[in-house]
Amino acid sequence: WRYPFLPSRPATRIHGNSTSPNFVASLPSRPFTLLSFHRQGGEIPVTEMLGTLALSVGAAVGMEFWARWAHRALWHASLWDMHESHHLPRDGPFELNDVFAIVNAVPAMALLAFGFFNRGLLPGLCFGAGLGITLFGMAYMFVHDGLVHRRFPVGPIENVPYFRRVAAAHQIHHMDKFDSVPYGLFLGPKVSSRSATLVQCC
């Protein structure tokens, strides 16, 4: 269901495929090719497949908590000189804060590549972790950069009620009230609601 199950090809061809848009686009569909492989007489590596699925979900969920911690403990602290560009009016299509997206993309790409070109449980887990990070990053990009900050159109996503609450909660973060919470994104509405209740009670 990843490259080792396919017919062997020259090394130069492998490198070419790994850098092509088709390779990147095919990553999420790799687990489904297990069925095709099984029909050809191969044995489905169930443990590896389940591990990949579990790590995909776990990494995607875990990234929200990692992002919330890093946002508060790093970006609003020692890395504020870079992150401050995100809290100022943007001059042009990019901002220095975009570097953090690249920082998260590097380990995700490494995990995906290792898992894609190797077989076994460990590569399967690595592939799942990389896929989960990637899916979170894509969702973060559409909701945070597209919906909240209007850097590009997001179509029907802006009509999803929960995403609208996420956008509203993130705007509260940019108001620098309630100690700048919420620092996370997708759990922002819950954190913002709790913070507002605390302020009213106190």
Give yes or no: residues 178 and 131 share one domain: no
Give yes or no: residues 35 and 87 share one domain: yes
Domain count, the chain: 2
Domain boundary among 152, 173, 193: 152
At 87, list the tokens. 């809290």
pLDDT tens-place string over residues 70-93 = 999 999 999 999 999 999 998 888
Question: Binning pLDDT at 50, 70 and 90, where does residue 58 land?
Answer: very high
What is the DSSP code (8-state) at residue 40? T
Question: Binning pLDDT at 50, 70 and 90, where does residue 18 land?
Answer: very low
Half-sphere exposure of 64 (CA within 13 A, CB side): 16
Domain that holds residue 9: 3-152
Give yes or no: residues 73 and 107 share one domain: yes
Give yes or no: residues 177 and 146 share one domain: no
